[in-house]
Amino acid sequence: MRKYSIYCFLAGGLALLGSAAIAAPKPPNSPLATPAAAGCSICHTKYVQSMKDNGLLASKHAKAGLDGCESCHDQESLKKPHEQATTPPVVIRARRYSQDFCLKCHGSLEELAKKTANSKVLTDDQGKTINPHDLPKTPAHMKAGDCANCHRMHKKPMEPNEFCYGCHHKKVYACKECHADKK
């Protein structure tokens, strides 16, 4: 426990000294303006830096005003994973959020479907295009409805069809092409 306390004390002190280097100046109510949130960069450097990488969604969220870790990672949910933490972990497991978590800010699925009605990102090898936010209502699609399957916050985005081709293995979106019993 003593080792953890010393580490937290040092982390807080370093966060106070280095918080200006984490990102551009923050308004006083910004989570990164507080030592607790700024301390995230001590162990989670690449995740904090991802908020500056224009190729990542974390950066787009930061530019939209969600520039602190606590915008998505609330203190209560972080208590358990940090209980026994004494040193930065080698691997941090990806945290999955429900679709409802994302829709709190992004509106309903119906609203997203309207915004992406003309999207061509999901076009199969035969030219069939599917709206990524208005997938056909099938049991497989209901299970696959997790935003993070396609949208990665702190990692490079995947090729849009990559996730879908896990099931649509012939790179064709019409199920009857391979499965005569499907519609």
pLDDT at residue 179, rounded to an integer: 64
Query: Mean pLDDT for each 10-residue chunk of the chain (183 residues)?
Result: 43 41 38 49 86 92 87 82 78 79 92 94 92 88 82 88 88 73 55
Distance CA 108, CA 55 (A): 25
Residue type, 161: N
CB atoms within 10 A of CB 51: 25
Distance CA 130, CA 119 (A): 8
Distance CA 41, CA 39 (A): 5
**Predicted structure pTM score:** 0.65
Instruction: DSSP for 129-149, please give it.
Output: EE-TTS----HHHHHT--GGG
pLDDT at residue 177, rounded to an integer: 58
- Provide the token pair at 118: 């003309």
Residue 134 dihedral angles phi and psi, to the nearest 5°: -140, 60
